[in-house]
A and B are shown apart, each in its own frame.
Chain A
Amino acid sequence: MSHEKLHRFQIALLIFNTQTGVVLFILPRTVATYFGTNGWIALIFMFLPITLNILLITSVYRLGRGASIFAILKSGIPRFLLFPIYLVMGSGLAMVGCLVIKQYVMIYQLLIFPQTPDIVLKLVVDIIVFLLVTKGIYNISKANVFFVALLITMVPLSFIFMKDFDITRMSSFFFKEGKDFGQGFIKVYGSFMGYELSLFLFPYAEKGKKWLKYIHLGNSMTVLVYLLVTVICYGFFNYKELVHLSFPLLDMFGYLYFPFVERVQNFLYSLFLVSILITGGMYYWSSQAVFTELIPRLPWKWVLFFVMASTFIVAFIPKSLIEVEDWFNVLIYLQLGVAIVIPLLALLALLIQKGRKRHA
């Protein structure tokens, strides 16, 4: 292992950029559909369970004294039990990475290249992701600093929308006409996913416990950006219209007008590629980490190659955006599993290990 370590601020940005992605384009609709009028408030409530979840993950690091998650699990749980868990987790994470890219590419196809097969576009993005991930986690995080800077430049655009923002449109009703709160909770929770990958960063992070707070920082950045976009959408459109917009943020970008360039939304959407590279890349990287643990003899770059190649083939199956969204609805549970069950298992492993030491 190299002596290089991830700086805590880089970790915050990495978490932030892994969480945000295509979901930002859909989130206002999801929130409006499930939470109804002034549903954006649900995002604030969501902050609490996610913070608790992050605390659970960080407690594993604290109690495990910085050992890698795999080492912790191995120390307390028999290998035959771990094998299926790793297999499911590794393939699940890879599928998330794959679908994130697939979804991005399908919207790209809808917008700009209606006749081009989406799988060709996906192949191109996949190659960039592959090249990025093979550079290793340190370089990913360094590239990410630049990517986040690019994305943050879009935030001032929100001032332009302020002109057409009207608070009376938001109505004085709260959570009326929502569909299914339970389902909505899981969907919105799912849009915050990405922080669970910090589980795999333990051995790469800087020494000490200071960096753990920066996972919260990254998550807070995500909450702020999500809130900004959703609140503006609620006042720029109205909740009833939001329910009928496939990609509210794209429609909002479409309203932007600069005298020197037409159709800015296509350009802005293309800019989101840098967010997709990190979201997809981090999931593939984590999946690779899991599979490398399973097959330590194979060089990790080859593991990555096989993981990406096999998900690429699976990506042929979903043919429409709705199907991809349906797949995500299933994968959310797997992500939740990684975020909650794996840390709990790790804590259990630590307990068993401690018990053994005491008896020894």
Chain B
Amino acid sequence: MLKRAGILISFICLLLLTTSCSQDQHILERVGYVRTVGFDRENENRVRVTLSIPLILTEANQTRFTDEILTATAKSGKEARITLSRKTSRKLLSGQIRTIMYNTNIARQGLRDFMDTLQRDPTISKRTELVIVDESVHNILSRTYKGHPRTGQYIDRLLKKEFDMQTIPRILLHEFFRDYYDDGKDPIANMIRKSGEDLEYAGVALFHDDKYMGKLTPDEVFYFSIMYHDHGKGEFTVTSDKPEMKSVTLDGINSRKKVKIRKNEEGNYIADIYIKFNGSVLEYVGDMNLTSSADRSKLENLLNEHVVQQCEKVVKKLQKHRTDSIGIGQHVRNKMSYKAWKDSPWDEMYAKMEIRVHAKSKIRNFGNYYH
């Protein structure tokens, strides 16, 4: 008797659950999964929000792939979503957002107001890419690029590929927030731009707290990147006027970085960044013979010199913008007492700090060509 009652109760509950959960159902054909969100500055206190939603339309026997582009101006992102939602036949969902893009005009004033919803909304993944663009985000998103995937997908795949190849630092929302909250490090983001009929990677956007301060060019990104994190792969090319090293391309870069902090006689902090890297030569144009170990070590020294020079240039630029993107502050902080750290004017100190770069390279092999 009790058993039968149990079965009956369970059945009623199941019915209750299934009927009440129907409010949370999403029918794929009626849902618009936003893939890309873009923000432009419209005027003083309004932003233009652009959404890109991939659509698959099936009519009769024909299947069409397209992006639905929605745009509206509003005071906040979520307000815009309500306005945008009135313009589409689909229920807008943010669970599949892959890329969030900001125009530099917005980023310059600070992203703090926009960060709130990104942190609060549990449907927005912390693996979303953060992209800064110099031109209008709306213009980039609202056009199609011939010979490339649909725009939203194009941007997403372009960045993912670069992340995987480790040619650019992997900056997703998680990394941005993490460094934003860290008092010894400033966040960064990646940039893209239009280049003719295509899109291309445009360098690293440097932030101080939540404000965009400047950028590194794509050529500088490799040198920044080896100071920013350890590498397991990646390639880079060095060109110079020297006859010994007109051009070298290293592949399969493996690098380790280490930051050491010490004090000089005057009591100022000095940072030494040690970079160790190795790779295999893919291309070499120069008058040396790589089979000889003397020539090889000469080339290694030339490489070291070059890397040190370029890295120091990048560091100077970072210091000029007062953006501690490498996280020197974390290391200085860990050397200080709590009181000393809180009392020290770190931003000033950082701008004037002596930061030296030391590089040590090793050529693992020189490929199939024995010369």
Contact = CB atoms under 8 A, between A and B. Distances in A.
A257 B183 CA distance: 28
Contact of B9 (A116, A127, A254, A263): A127
Contacts of B82: none
Nearest to B2: A301
A241 B178 contact: yes
A117 interface: yes
Contacts, number: 73
A172 B13 contact: no
Contacts of A117: 20
Contacts of B336: 172
A251 B127 CA distance: 10
Contact of A168 (B95, B180, B181, B334): B334
Interface stretch (B212-220, B299-307, B325-333): B325-333
Interface in B310-365: 327, 330-331, 333-336, 338, 341
Given A120-B20, A124-B17, A241 B181 contact: yes
Contacts of A115: 23-24
Interface string B4-39: 001001100100110011011000000000000000
Given A127-B9, A251-B126, A169 B182 contact: yes
A171 B333 contact: yes
A173 interface: yes
A106 to B, nearest CB: 12
A111 B13 contact: no
A344 B147 CA distance: 79
A254 B338 contact: no
A293 to B, nearest CB: 23
A190 B174 CA distance: 30
B122 interface: yes
Contacts of A237: 178, 181
A191 interface: no
Interface residue tally on B, bucketed by range? 20 to 34
A111 B122 contact: yes
Nearest to A37: B338
A312 to B, nearest CB: 12
B37 to A, nearest CB: 18
B10 A127 contact: yes
Interface in A126-175: 127, 131, 168-169, 171-173
A116 B23 contact: yes
B331 to A, nearest CB: 6
B17 A255 contact: no
A169 B20 contact: no
A257 B164 CA distance: 13
Contacts of B334: 168, 171-172
B123 to A, nearest CB: 9
A88 to B, nearest CB: 30
A37 B181 CA distance: 13
A169 B10 contact: no
Contact of A116 (B13, B24, B95, B174): B24
B83 interface: no
B125 interface: yes
A116 to B, nearest CB: 5
A172 B333 contact: yes
Nearest to A121: B17
A114 B17 contact: no
Contacts of B224: none
B16 A120 contact: yes
A117 to B, nearest CB: 6
A255 B13 contact: no
Contacts of A37: 338
B208 to A, nearest CB: 16
A114 B24 contact: yes
Interface string A266-295: 000000000000000000000000000000
B20 A240 contact: no
B182 A173 contact: no
Contact of A113 (B6, B24, B95, B126): B24
B119 interface: yes
Interface string B124-167: 01110000000000000000000000000000000000000000
B126 A168 contact: no
Contacts of B6: 131
Contact of B330 (A124, A169, A251): A169
B222 interface: no
B330 A254 contact: no
B210 to A, nearest CB: 14
A123 B16 contact: yes
B177 interface: yes
A238 interface: yes
Contact of A240 (B9, B10, B182, B327): B182
Given A110-B122, A168-B330, A240-B183, 11 more contacts: A37-B338, A116-B23, A120-B20, A123-B16, A127-B9, A172-B335, A172-B336, A238-B178, A254-B125, A254-B127, A255-B127
9 contacts: A115-B23, A116-B24, A120-B21, A169-B178, A169-B330, A172-B334, A238-B181, A238-B182, A240-B181
Interface of A: 37, 110-117, 120-121, 123-124, 127, 131, 168-169, 171-173, 176, 237-238, 240-241, 244, 250-251, 254-255, 257, 263
**Closest CB pairs A-B (n = 5):** A115-B23, A241-B181, A240-B181, A172-B334, A113-B24
